[in-house]
Structures are given as C-alpha cells and as structure tokens.
Amino acid sequence: MAVEVYKGAVDKGLEGVVACTTAVSSIVDATLCYRGYTIEDLAANATFEEVIWLLWNNEHPTKDQSEKLMKELSESAVLSDQTISFLNTLPVKDVHPMAWLRSAVSALSLWDNNSQDLSKENQRAVGVRLMSKMPTLVSFFHRKREGKNFVQPKPGKTMAWNFMYMLSGEEPNPEAVKVMDTCLTLHADHELNCSAFSTRVTASSLSDIYSAITSGIGSLKGPLHGGANEQVMRMLFEIGEEDKAAAWVENALANKVKIMGFGHRVYKNGDPRAKILKSMSKSLSESTGNAKWYKISDIIEQAVVSQKGLLPNVDFYSATVYYSMGIPMDMFTPIFAVSRTSGWLAHAYEQYDNNRIYRPRGEWTGKVGQHWN
C-alpha cells in the first residue's frame, strides 16, 4: 500500500508556522499589543476589567461598559452552596494546583444549563460566569489545603482586589492590588501560544466554552509553558545569597543546566513584559523586605546577558513579584491561568466566529509495506 508523504513537514513545535488569522493580540519584534494597544500602554493606564472588555469586544470600553462588566464579574464570582459542596469532595493533599483547577473548571459546566448553547450572546454570558469564578476557584483550593475557611468575594470590588482578599482572608492594601491588577493585564494574552492554540483547537470542533478553557488549563499546566516562574523562584532559593549568584550562573552554563526565565521562542530583542515586571519587582521587593531576591535576579540577568546574549522573559521577574506579595510558589501558575482565561476566551470567541475545524496532517516516518501473517 502506498503511503502519501508530505515533503517539508514541520516538526519541533510548528515553529514559524502561521496556523490562523487573529486580531486578539500580536507580537512584532519586541512589541506586544492587545487589539492594537501596546502592553506598556495598557499596563500603565487600563484596569484588568477594561482589558477583558478590550480582548472580548475589540474596542476601548466606555466608562459605563467597564463598570457594567465589573459589576457582572463581581456578582458572578460567588460560588453556590451546591458548587462548594462538590468542590469539597475534591482532594487537595499532594495535588497539583493546576490539576485541581482543571477538574474544577470542567465540573462547573455541570451546573451551567446554557453551557452547550454556542450562540454569540450566550457565549459571552458563559464567559463572564467562568472568568469571574477563576480567582474564586484558585483561592478556594489554596485555603482548603491550608485548613482555612473559604472566603467568598465581596461585591463591588475589582477582580484583583477580590483575588488578594480571598487568598489571604484580609483586605489587601492598595499597592498590592495595583500590582496584582497589572500582573493580570501582563499575562492576559500572548498571541498563538501553546495554551491559546489548544483552546482554539478544541473550540474549532464546536465544543463548549468550558471544554475549550479546560484544554487551555491543561496546556498551561506543563512546566514548559506555565510553570517556569515557579522554577525561577526555586532557583533563587538554591542560590541563596548575592555573592553566590555569579558563580552559580558560571557553573550552570558550564554544565549546560537550563537557567529558567531566559530566552523566548518569539522575542529575540527582549520581552516587553519582563521590563515592566523588573521595575515592579525592584520596588515591591524593597518595600516588603525581600530586596535580596531582586538583587540576586539582577546579578543573574547581567551574567546571562553578557555570557549567552539571552534576555529575561515574563517568568523571570514575575517570580519575585509574586513571592514579595506573599503568594506561595505553586500558586504562581494558577494566577497565570486566572489572567490568561481572558485571552483564551477571546481566542475561543474568534474561533467560533470564523470557524473551520483544525485538521493538520502528519509526515509519515514509519515502516511501509507491512503484512500481518
């Protein structure tokens, strides 16, 4: 039997392959834009709720639209008694936070009677309900494993405020809220990355929103995509002191040990998000008594840049930002998921609006002419 062979097939992560058209976000050289607005502009001037509106609707929200969305997100963030009862049956001991979140998000669809309706109006309504509950779910998991009572969100507060409040059980200070809001904006979308592509592939089959977002979470769970900032913090702990940082880098490079948080598949002239996070890391680490970790990070950056020419990516300084805010290391990726859900939803909506199911082909590299005797 003849086997059709596709010459020029691309392996190694489909690098450089254009898989779809999109107007959600773009990367050109060292510039990241959401719907045409630079990440620097949005981080300095927009709230996360405004960024969500922008990603979903491809327009700058009016004051009324922004306030309406914030109200909807705030009201929908509360977990019902039935949902809480179910979530309490899920194990948390020795459970990966992203594995728990993946299961919890999938389960939410069972209480959403409209989850299978793919009309545009309903998709947006389902998106609001799911987006709003992501911080609530993450904080539920964290407090349950800590043996603490679950804290419901407060009405009328931003997602960043409520997220900090639900994690700690205490009202957050304004500076921490602003930092969290900016971090959520910086991580909201990033063109056709692994998890966005997973989301779109699932949506292309006309499966529901919950299935698409669960696919995104599953992809983000992998250490090659969403877990690098946790590994950065573990690296800093291993180094321990400023005077050991340069020698640690020398030894790592000599032994071909991967230094987490550097380099990027797309950015060759620096990740614009890393520059913003570096400034935040410096001020926040100093104000919270964690200046050592920023200083070690700065020494590592200088050494890696000078010896390898690699620049830090978004994961490198986000590690010290989150740590300085008192967030446990294994919660870094779930926070990433909370933010990125806004972008995943935007990609799912775009896929539904101009859909064709993904069906790539593979280049055959196996045996031919086999016979079963």
pLDDT in tens, 73-125: 999 999 999 999 999 999 999 999 999 999 999 999 999 989 999 999 999 99
70 and 159 housed in the same domain: yes
Q: Which residue has the tokens 């009572």?
A: 149
Grade residue 264 by pLDDT with cuts at 50, 70 and 90: confident
Q: What pTM, to 2 d.p., does this model score? A: 0.93
Does 190 fall in a domain?
yes
Rounded CA separation 35/23 (Å): 6
Grade residue 4 by pLDDT with cuts at 50, 70 and 90: low
Does 79 fall in a domain?
yes
Q: Which of 134-138, 160-164, 221-225, 368-372 has the lowest mean pLDDT?
A: 221-225
The pLDDT of residue 228 is: 84
pLDDT in tens, 327-365: 999 999 999 999 999 999 999 999 999 999 999 988 888
Does 317 fall in a domain?
yes
Grade residue 1 by pLDDT with cuts at 50, 70 and 90: very low
308 and 273 housed in the same domain: yes
180 and 45 housed in the same domain: yes
- Mark whether 41 is an active-site residue: no
- Mark whether 208 is an active-site residue: no
46 and 194 housed in the same domain: yes
Does 4 fall in a domain?
no
302 and 337 housed in the same domain: no
CATH assignment at residue 213: 1.10.580.10
List phi, psi (to 5°) of 31. Answer: -115, 120
63 and 192 housed in the same domain: yes
235 and 339 housed in the same domain: no
44 and 125 housed in the same domain: yes
Does 35 fall in a domain?
yes
Look up residue 48 and give its DSSP letter.
Answer: H
Rounded CA separation 101/334 (Å): 8
The pLDDT of residue 263 is: 84
- Residue 174 CB: number of other CB atoms within 10 A? 8
State both tokens at 240: 């321990």
State the Cα angle at 360 between 55 and 267, rounded to 5°: 50
State both tokens at 345: 């939803």
Catalytic hit among 190, 264, 298, 347: 264
61 and 210 housed in the same domain: yes
**312 bridge partner residues:** 262
Catalytic hit among 189, 208, 271, 315: 315
Rounded CA separation 79/60 (Å): 30
State both tokens at 154: 């407060």
Does 304 fall in a domain?
yes
Q: Are 327 and 233 in contact (CB under 8 A)?
A: no
- Residue 10 CB: number of other CB atoms within 10 A? 12
- Burial-class residue 367 by CB neighbours within 10 Å (0-12, 13-18, 19+): exposed
Q: Which domain holds residue 34?
A: 25-222+330-353
313 and 343 housed in the same domain: no
Instruction: State how far the alpha carbon of 140 is from the alpha carbons of 49, 82, 137, 305, in Å.
Output: 21, 14, 5, 40
CATH assignment at residue 267: 1.10.230.10
State both tokens at 293: 């970790």
Q: Which residues, in sequence order, are CB contacts of 344 under 8 Å at separation 6+? A: 195, 196, 199, 212, 213, 216
64 and 210 housed in the same domain: yes
**37 bridge partner residues:** 34
Does 6 fall in a domain?
no
**Number of domains composing the chain:** 2
In the three-class reduction of DSSP (H, G, I as helix; E, B as strand; rest coil), residue 31 is classed as strand
Does 9 fall in a domain?
no
